[in-house]
C-alpha cells in the first residue's frame, strides 16, 4: 500500500474470515446469535483478533454488548498491536477509508487531526498494510452499527501514559466507542493457558497494571486503557474467557482469548 491510495483494502479476507460478503455476513450473524449477552452500554471493549474459527465466538460475545447502539455510536477508536513491523509509538494510516467485504468505513479525519501533533503518534501505511489486529473487528462493527467513522491505530512500543493520552484526547461521550484488540497467552498447553489467562483476567478486572506482553499481545494498548480507567473510575466486567482448545484447536498448544467491557461509574 502506498501513501497515495485513498483506501486500505482488506488484507486477511479469505484467511481470517470469509472473503465473500454474503458468507461473511451470515457467519457474523451466526456467531452473534450463538454467543448472546445482555448488559448496559459499554464505553470500551477488549476483544480478540484471531481467525473467526478460533476467536470469533469470544469476539461475538464482546460485540453483542453493542446491540441496540447502532444509532448511538458514531465513532470507533480502535487500537491493536502491530505484528509485522517494528514500531515506536502509535501509527495512523494516511488513507481515507478501510475496506472489508461488507463495504468501506470512512476514517474520522477531524478526530485524527486532534492526535496527529502528539509526539508518540506517527503515520505508517506500511504498519497497517498487512496488520490483522484491527481488520478482523470491522465486520462485527459493520454488522451492528449504522453509520460510523473509524480512528485506527496500530501500537508498537509505548508507555501506558502515551497510549492513555491518545485515548483521553479521543474519549468523547456516548457517541465514541473505544476498542482494544488483544489475544492472551500463546502456545501453552490447555490447563496452563487457563491458569495464566485467569491470572491476567484478575489483573485486568482490578485495573492492576502493567499487563505484560507475554500475558497479552495487546498488553501495551490494554495498559493505556486501564490507565484511563483508573482515572475515570471505570468498572470492568468479564464477558468471556476461553482459548483455541475450546473452539477449534488442539489442547497441546492453545491461544487464549478474552472479552471485557468497561463501563462508566
Residue ranges of domains in the chain: 7-263
Assess whether pLDDT exceeds 70 at residue 1: no
Assess whether pLDDT exceeds 60 at residue 2: no
Give 156 or 5, the one with higher predicted confidence.
Answer: 156
Alpha helices in 69-159 (DSSP H): 109-115, 125-129, 132-135, 138-144
Give 247's DSSP letter.
H
| CATH 3.40.830.10, domain 7-263, yes or no | yes
Task: Please write the tens of the pLDDT for every residue from 150-161.
Answer: 999 999 999 999
Give 76's DSSP letter.
E
Instruction: Tell me if the bond preceding 210 is cis, omega within 30° of 0.
Output: yes
Task: Please write the tens of the pLDDT for every residue from 58-87.
Answer: 999 999 999 999 999 999 999 999 999 999
Cell 498448544 appears where? 253
Q: What is the pLDDT of residue 4?
A: 41
Nearest Cα residue to 149 out of 83, 200, 95: 95
Q: What is the pLDDT of residue 249?
A: 85
Nearest Cα residue to 136 out of 62, 85, 194: 62
Q: What percent of the chain stands above pLDDT 90?
A: 97
Q: What is the pLDDT of residue 265?
A: 77
**Mean pLDDT (whole number) for 91-104:** 98
Query: What does the alpha-carbon distance between residue 93 and residue 259 come to, in Å, rounded to a whole number?
Result: 26
Q: What is the pLDDT of residue 113?
A: 98
Contacts of 26 (CB under 8 A, 6+ apart): none
Q: What is the pLDDT of residue 71?
A: 97
Q: pTM of the full predicted structure? A: 0.97
Name the average pLDDT for the chain: 96
Instruction: Tell me if the bond preceding 193 is cis, omega within 30° of 0.
Output: no
Give 108's DSSP letter.
-
Q: What is the pLDDT of residue 3?
A: 42
Q: What is the pLDDT of residue 145?
A: 98
Cα–Cα distances in angstroms (integers) from residue 253 to residues 165, 186, 189, 245, in the given order: 36, 8, 5, 8
Alpha carbon of residue 31 to chain centroid: 17
Amino acid at each position: 500500500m502506498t501513501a497515495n491510495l485513498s483506501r486500505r483494502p482488506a488484507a486477511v479476507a479469505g484467511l481470517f474470515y470469509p472473503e465473500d460478503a454474503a458468507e461473511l455476513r451470515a457467519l457474523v450473524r451466526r456467531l452473534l446469535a450463538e454467543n448472546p449477552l445482555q448488559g448496559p452500554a459499554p464505553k470500551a471493549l477488549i476483544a480478540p483478533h484471531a481467525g473467526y474459527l478460533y476467536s470469533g465466538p469470544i469476539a461475538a460475545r464482546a460485540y453483542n454488548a453493542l446491540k441496540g447502539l447502532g444509532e448511538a455510536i458514531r465513532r470507533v477508536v480502535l487500537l491493536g498491536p502491530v505484528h509485522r513491523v517494528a514500531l515506536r509509538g502509535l501509527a495512523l494510516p494516511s488513507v481515507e477509508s478501510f475496506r472489508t467485504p461488507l463495504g468501506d468505513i470512512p476514517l474520522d479525519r477531524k478526530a485524527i487531526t486532534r492526535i496527529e501533533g502528539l509526539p508518540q503518534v506517527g503515520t505508517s501505511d506500511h504498519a497497517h498494510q498487512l496488520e490483522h489486529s484491527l481488520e478482523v473487528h470491522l465486520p462485527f462493527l459493520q454488522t451492528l452499527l449504522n453509520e460510523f467513522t473509524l480512528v485506527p491505530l496500530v501500537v508498537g512500543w509505548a508507555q501506558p501514559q502515551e497510549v492513555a493520552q491518545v485515548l483521553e484526547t479521543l474519549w468523547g461521550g456516548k457517541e465514541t466507542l473505544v476498542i482494544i484488540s488483544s489475544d492472551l497467552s500463546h502456545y501453552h498447553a490447555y490447563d496452563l493457558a487457563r491458569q495464566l489467562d485467569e491470572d491476567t483476567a484478575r489483573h485486568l478486572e482490578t485495573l492492576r497494571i502493567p499487563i505484560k506482553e507475554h500475558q497479552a499481545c495487546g498488553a501495551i494498548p490494554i495498559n493505556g486503557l486501564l490507565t484511563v480507567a483508573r482515572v475515570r473510575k471505570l468498572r470492568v466486567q468479564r464477558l468471556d474467557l476461553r482459548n483455541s482448545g475450546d473452539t477449534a484447536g488442539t489442547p497441546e498448544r492453545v491461544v487464549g482469548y478474552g472479552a471485557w467491557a468497561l463501563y462508566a461509574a
